[in-house]
Amino acid sequence: MNHSCAAVVTTFAAIAFAWPGISAAQKVPADGYLCCNLRVSGTWASDYNDPRSGGRVLPVGSKVIGLAFGSTQVDVEIEGTKISIGNDYSRVFPIEQFAARWIVPKDPAAELRGLSPKMQQAIKGARLMKGMDRKHVLMAVGWPTASNTPNTEDPIWTYPAANGYTYKVVFDERWRVKAIDADEATKRVVMMP
């Protein structure tokens, strides 16, 4: 394992709010819940999770039934529909570890109900706002791809947006969002008004 891959895997395991994963010995993904809002186009949901793609958003806390592992995707059932969650841009992770990022054993919607109404509205709307912590950012917009953010211990997470653009979530020393660095069109899509 090269140094950057080891850093990503170590960082993923070390994040204080990371949820327990599934064992590599499992033949099918564990049932659970979506950790985060996830955009889907037809039956494909890419880890790219582009906010300007126009895809339908599967909400954080959606019940997930694990069906199968593919070489680059996790096949699941969500809301009665077979969905493939594609590991398109985070392939430094083995597919089982990739699945554990998106499918968690404990329903995060329970935590969501304990947040302020404005924070709930932002997360349910797949929007960001200043003051969110890392867990809230994940719930709102999902994991940054490993190709854009190889180390989630860095205070800047880069997310893809349409047409090759990106936006950056900038955290302060307490791991709260202090800024969103993006063009104005992307800010209108990803930030809470």
End-to-end C-alpha distance for the chain, whole angstroms: 43
* φ and ψ at residue 102, rounded to 5 degrees: -95, -25
19-73, pLDDT tens digit by residue?
344 444 458 899 999 999 999 999 999 999 988 777 899 999 999 999 999 999 9
The pLDDT, as a whole number, for residue 163 is: 72
Q: What percent of the chain shows pLDDT beyond 70?
A: 87
| Closest to 11 in 3D by CA, of 101, 73, 88, 71 | 101
User: Cα dist. 93→3, 9, 40, 143, 190 in Å?
Assistant: 14, 7, 21, 13, 26
Are the beta carbons of 83 and 77 closer than 8 angstroms?
Answer: yes
Worst-scoring range by mean pLDDT, 41-50, 52-61, 112-121, 167-176? 52-61
User: Cα dist. 36→3, 25, 29, 98, 143 in Å?
Assistant: 28, 25, 17, 13, 8
- The band of 7, judged by pLDDT with boundaries at 50, 70 and 90, is very low
Tell me the pLDDT of the chain averaged across its residues.
87
3-37 burial, b at 16+ Cβ within 10 Å, e below that, comes to eeeebbbebbeeeeebbebbeeeeeebbebbbbbb
Are the beta carbons of 85 and 99 closer than 8 angstroms?
Answer: yes
Instruction: Give CA–CA dist 16/35, Å, rounded.
Output: 15
| Closest to 47 in 3D by CA, of 14, 84, 4 | 84
Instruction: Give CA–CA dist 144/151, Å, rounded.
Output: 10
| Closest to 57 in 3D by CA, of 81, 38, 31 | 38
Q: How far is CA 6 from the centre of its chain?
A: 20
Q: How far is CA 191 from the centre of its chain?
A: 16
Tokens for 78, please give them.
């969500």
Q: For 172-181, what is the mean pLDDT?
A: 97
